[in-house]
Amino acid sequence: MERIVQQTDYDALSCRISAISKGYLPSPSLQIERCHYNGYREMHVEYLRALKNVSMKIHSKVYQVAKTSFPVMNYGTYLRTVSIDLALDEFLKLVGEDRKVQVVNLGCGSDLRMVPLLRNHSNLFYVDVDYESSISVKRKVLWESPMLREMLDLKREDATGEVSSERYKLLPCDLNRLDQTMRGLEALTGPDCPTVIISECLLCYMADRESQQLIDSVKGFYKSGSWISYDPIGGSAPGDRFGVIMQNNLKESRNLDMPTLMVYNSTEKYASRFHGADTTASDMWEVLTSQISNEESARLRSLQFLDEIEELKVMQKHYLLLVARW
- For the stretch 65-106, pLDDT in tens is 898 889 999 999 999 999 999 999 999 999 999 999 999 999
Q: Does pLDDT of 313 surpass 90? A: yes
Q: Which residues are annotated as a binding site for S-adenosyl-L-methionine?
A: 80, 107, 174-175, 200
Rounded to an integer, what distance in angstroms lies between the CA atom of residue 54 and that of residue 47?
10
pLDDT of residue 1: 67
Task: List phi, psi (to 5°) of 18.
Answer: -65, -45
pLDDT at site 69: 86
Binding residues: 80, 107, 174-175, 200
CA distance 278 to 323: 8
pLDDT in tens, 111-120: 999 999 999 9
Mean pLDDT, the chain, integer: 96
Domains and CATH numbers, the chain: 2-325 (3.40.50.150)
DSSP 8-state code for residue 28: I
Region 258-279: what's the mean pLDDT? 97
Give tens-digit pLDDT for 169-188: 999 999 999 999 999 999 99
From CA 117, how far away is CA 104, in angstroms rounded?
12
- Taking the C-alpha atoms of residue 16 and residue 90, their distance in angstroms, rounded to an integer, is 22
Identity at 130, one-letter amino acid code: D
pLDDT at 187: 98
**Cβ-count burial of 161 within 10 angstroms (0-12 exposed, 13-18 middle, 19+ buried)?**
exposed
CA torsion through residues 23, 29, 30, 32, sign: positive
Q: Using 50, 70 and 90 to split pLDDT, how confident is the model at 214? A: very high
Phi, psi of 323 (to 5 degrees): -125, 120
CA–CA separation, 150 vs 139, rounded Å?
Answer: 14
Strands 168-172 and 124-130: parallel
Closest CA to 138 of 122, 151, 149, 124: 149
Q: What predicted TM-score, i.e. pTM, was given to this entire model?
A: 0.97
Number of C-beta neighbours around residue 146 at 10 A = 10
* Per-residue pLDDT at 159: 83
Ramachandran sector of residue 317 (left: φ over 0; alpha: ψ -120 to 50; beta: rest): alpha
Angle at 42 between CA 38 and CA 45, to 5 degrees: 145
Residue 151 has, within 13 A of its CA and on its CB side, a CA count of 25
Element (H, E) at 285: helix 284-290
Angle between helices 132-144 and 40-54 (to 10 degrees): 110
Q: What pLDDT is stored for residue 67 in this prediction?
A: 87
Whether the upstream peptide bond of residue 26 has omega within 30° of 0, thus cis, is: yes
